[in-house]
Copies of this chain bind each other. A is one copy, B any other.
């Protein structure tokens, strides 16, 4: 690996001159510049990134920490955040905590476990002196893992800050639930069942609030008996379906596509047809929703937008003079309704 010093020797100039040329400083003779640049090109010289950052104490680098890269929601967020950072001339370094890989779903409520894994990552990114951090949660919840004296400007994506110290970019679940309620109402449904996620989950609560608001606007009561809680998976949709189907309702709002697929499973088994005998709406717009029969009407997660927005906020802040990151900002990105054929007009 060739260095500035060697370039300098070859050109019979000093290292500083080479450095100045490389960094586009003025006050350099035109022919020296040409000569040096030529040698640089010939030798394929590459600045040593470590030496550079060490000397400059700043490196235009953003660290992206993800709870698990292999979660379905993570890669798109990362991709779009990286795209924006690239465009703005920041390089990114990805740190993958692999929380699901290590512990499946058993770490959710175990802050200590997470902190233990996060700690070395944080230490490393501090030692690297990254300019900022984007923390991408694997599922939405309150996040409170950063040390008291954590100085790196940080934005949370797909998760919320507990202590209002860091801005968060999350999906607008309240509006999502509201939109689904409105749509179902507009299709003539009045008695609607809900298969929610876990009842202490933030998605669950916000989506439910939005849904209730839509009902309230139509002056329709919300019947608690029509609400069942699942665990976000196909099985729980299948499990809860019969409770709802025996009620006097015409549609089910499932808080994700997998649970909706579980409802399909149950109805298929009973010889009932979604979209004919009964309406179903999902949430997420995962791939599978387009392959169900009938294709599932659902609400698309704005993952790419979340990543970009998080990056924009972080970099926007870095550009500012006073570097005062405004806390307790929660940016809510709306979902987009995807209308397919699982809802019939009644």
Interface residues in chain A, defined as those with a beta carbon under 8 Å from any beta carbon in chain B:
1, 46-51, 53-54, 68-70, 74-76, 78-79, 82-83, 86, 91-94, 96, 98, 101, 123-124, 126-129, 261, 268, 286-288, 290-293
Complex copy number for this chain: 2
- A152: shortest Cβ distance to chain B, in Å? 11
- In angstroms, Cα B49 to Cα A49, docked, is 12
Contact A51 B54 (CB under 8 A): yes
Contact A291 B261 (CB under 8 A): yes
A127 in contact with B48 given A74-B75, A96-B79 (CB within 8 Å): yes
Please indicate the chain B residues that have their CB under 8 angstroms from the CB of A96 in the complex.
78-79, 82, 92, 94
- In angstroms, Cα B16 to Cα A262, docked, is 64
- In angstroms, Cα B98 to Cα A211, docked, is 37
Contact A126 B46 (CB under 8 A): yes
Of all chain B residues, the one with the shortest Cβ separation from A76 is B70
Please indicate the chain B residues that have their CB under 8 angstroms from the CB of A126 in the complex.
1, 46
Contact B98 A82 (CB under 8 A): yes
A49 in contact with B1 given A79-B96, A288-B287 (CB within 8 Å): no
- In angstroms, Cα B124 to Cα A48, docked, is 8
The contact of A1 among B47, B74, B127, B291, by CB within 8 Å, is B127
A75 in contact with B83 given A48-B127, A50-B128 (CB within 8 Å): no
Of all chain B residues, the one with the shortest Cβ separation from A125 is B49
- A254: shortest Cβ distance to chain B, in Å? 14
Of all chain B residues, the one with the shortest Cβ separation from A93 is B93
- In angstroms, Cα B78 to Cα A79, docked, is 14
Please indicate the chain B residues that have their CB under 8 angstroms from the CB of A291 in the complex.
261, 288, 291-292
Please indicate the chain B residues that have their CB under 8 angstroms from the CB of A124 in the complex.
46, 49, 91
Please indicate the chain B residues that have their CB under 8 angstroms from the CB of A292 in the complex.
291
Of all chain B residues, the one with the shortest Cβ separation from A91 is B124
Of all chain B residues, the one with the shortest Cβ separation from A290 is B288
Contact B79 A46 (CB under 8 A): no
A50 in contact with B54 given A76-B70, A79-B98 (CB within 8 Å): yes
- A338: shortest Cβ distance to chain B, in Å? 16
Contact A128 B93 (CB under 8 A): no
| 6 A–B contacts from the bound complex (CB under 8 Å) | A50-B54, A50-B127, A69-B75, A69-B78, A75-B75, A286-B287
Of all chain B residues, the one with the shortest Cβ separation from A288 is B291
Of A75, A268, A291, the most chain B CB neighbours within 10 A belong to A291
